[in-house]
Chains A and B, each alone.
Chain A
Amino acid sequence: MKIGVFCSHGGHLTEAQEIVNPLNDHTIFYVTYNCERTKALGINYLLPNIGTNVFLMIWATLYIFYILFKERPNVIMSTGAEIAIPAFYIAKLFGIYTIFIESLACIDYPSKTGRIVYYVSDVFLVQWESLLHKYGNRAVFKGCIL
Chain B
Amino acid sequence: MIFATVGTHNKGFDRLVEMVDCYAKSTDEHILIQVGSSTYTPKFADSFSFETQDVIEKYYQQARIIITHAGAGSIISSIKFLRPLIVVPRLKKYGEAIDNHQLQLAKLIKNRGLGEIVYTFPELCAALKLNNNTYTIANSLNSLSLFLKEHLKNLEVSIS
Contact = CB atoms under 8 A, between A and B. Distances in A.
A12 to B, nearest CB: 7
B156 A10 contact: no
A41 interface: yes
A76 interface: no
Interface centre among B50, B72, B156 (most CB of A within 10 A): B72
A146 B151 CA distance: 20
Given A10-B8, A22-B145, A146-B137, 10 more contacts: A10-B9, A12-B72, A14-B74, A18-B142, A22-B141, A41-B53, A142-B143, A142-B144, A143-B143, A146-B142
A145 B101 contact: no
Contact of A49 (B10, B51, B70, B159): B10
B interface residue count range (under 10 / 10 to 19 / 20 to 34 / 35 or more): 35 or more
Interface stretch (B20-28, B102-110, B123-131): B102-110
Interface of A: 1, 3, 8-15, 18-23, 26, 35-37, 39-41, 49, 51, 74-75, 77, 97, 99, 101, 103-109, 111-112, 123, 125, 127, 142-146
Contacts of A77: 148
Interface of B: 7-10, 50-54, 56, 70-77, 79, 98-99, 101-102, 104-105, 108, 137, 141-149, 151-152, 155-156, 159
B79 A107 contact: no
Secondary structure class of chain A's binding surface, majority of residues: loop
Given A99-B148, A107-B104, A35 B50 contact: yes
B156 A104 contact: no
